[in-house]
Structures are given as structure tokens and as C-alpha cells.
Amino acid sequence: MNWRVLRFGEVSSTQEVAREHAVPDGLEWLVVVAETQSVGRGSRGREWQSRSGGLYMTVVLKPEEHIGLVPLLAGVSVSEAISEVAGFEAQLKWPNDVLLHGKKVGGILVESVWSGGTLRFILLGVGVNVNNDLPDALPEATSLSKELGWEVDLDPLMHSILEQLERHFNKLPLDPELVLCSWKKRNQTLGRRVVVTDRSGEPIEGIATDVDLEGALLVETDRGLRRVLSGRI
């Protein structure tokens, strides 16, 4: 792909910078990378700690279909890049967490930009803890350098993520099942008892049995099968 990479020092959020640059013409394959974010965001509006040394970027994409699989596709891409660059087999937690040894090392944020009922583009945000210090208040988080014992070069990791992302994105319209299968091989969610809080705030408890072709989690509860399009486990 004809990637166009824009690099910044500190920004409010790579999502917002990418939105500003993409809005005029919906520029696809634009990549915004920042050293730090002052108001980095995770899913559902949560703060994403963005200290220097981490990888923080947003990619502008124009998927024609299977939009719900994009967060899972991105997770697979990040997982494969970590394996290539750091030698770790990262695992995935539905819908957007990347884990190392059970701790969160990365996250995915997907935002859609619409105009008149038509999807113009999506903003795919990726955050990976690489060499950045982690707050004491986040014992459930880890970083690549913490796990390895030495620092990791950010550029090879970024380029590997983009290469994997391009490869999977091109396969998405042709064989969405393949993307979903790749995610399932790395998932830490299916087959486990979970409590999912959906968009309405309702807790849904049961066994996570599957993920469908729209990226929705299927949960077998005491009252039957529930389908959750978006939520937090």
C-alpha cells in the first residue's frame, strides 16, 4: 500500500489528528504516529496512558464490508508483529485487548466516520506498551521491554504491524472466515465464563461460546444465547 506516515511529538490524540487530516478527502492508508498523547483514549472513552517510549498510532482505512471484524483483524496484526519483533506469542481478549502472559500490552480503538448515512472511513487506533514506564495504578498492564529485559526499536514494530494489517485487510472481503479463524487461534476469551457489560451497562454473565462474522461475542447465559456487539469483559 501507499502508506503516508505523519510523525509527531506530543499530540492530544492520534485519532483526532488523523481525523483532521483525513476529513477533507477521506485519505486512506494515512498513518499518524506520536511520541506521546496528552489525552490518549482507549475503548468506551477510557483513558490510555501514553508516556514516551510506547507506540501510539492511528491508521485511516476504508473497509467496504465486515467492519465489525476490523478490531479483531487489528488485534491479530499486532499479535503477529509482536511475535516477529519480540519473539512473544501475544494473546487476544475480545474485543480489543492484546495480552502478554495474561497482562495487557496493547489495545485497539476503532471509530467510524459517517456522512449522510454513508461510511466515509474508519480510524483504527493502536497503542502498544513498548519501552514506556507503566503507572503503579495499572498492575494488570505490561510492556515489551519489561517482559524482554531490554528496549525494543519502535520503527520495526510499527512497520511490521502495518505489513500484517495490509495483508489481513486485503483478505477481509474475500475470506472473512480466515481473519476470524486467525483471531480465534490467539483468543483468551472463548470457552470461559465471562461477565460482559454491554453499551447499556447491563452485565451479561455466561460462557463465551463464539464470535460471529460481525465481530459480536456470543454468550450462553442461563436464559439462552446472547449476542453482544460491543462491551467490556
pTM for the model stands at 0.92
Cα(121)–Cα(229) distance, rounded to whole angstroms?
A: 20
Cα(177)–Cα(200) distance, rounded to whole angstroms?
A: 29
- What residues have CB less than 8 Å from 72, skipping those under 6 apart? 92, 94, 95, 179, 180, 183, 211, 215
What values do phi and psi take at 81, rounded to 5? -65, -40
pLDDT for the residue numbered 2: 77
Q: How confident is the model at residue 48 (pLDDT cuts 50, 70, 90)?
A: low
189-232: per-residue pLDDT in tens? 999 999 999 888 889 999 999 999 999 999 999 999 999 998 89
Which CATH number is associated with domain 193-232?
2.30.30
Evaluate if residue 41 carries a pLDDT over 80. Answer: no
Strand partners, 203: 197
Cα(214)–Cα(94) distance, rounded to whole angstroms?
A: 13
pLDDT for the residue numbered 70: 95
- What residues have CB less than 8 Å from 191, skipping those under 6 apart? 207, 208, 209
Q: How confident is the model at residue 3 (pLDDT cuts 50, 70, 90)?
A: confident
Structural domain spans, the chain: 4-186, 193-232
pLDDT for the residue numbered 114: 86
76-107: per-residue pLDDT in tens? 999 999 999 999 999 999 999 999 999 999 99
Q: How confident is the model at residue 120 (pLDDT cuts 50, 70, 90)?
A: confident
pLDDT for the residue numbered 211: 97
Under 8 Å between Cβ of 48 and 132: no
**In CATH, which of 3.20.20.100, 3.30.930.10, 3.30.870.10, 3.40.50.300 is domain 4-186?**
3.30.930.10
Tell me the average pLDDT across 153-176. Answer: 95
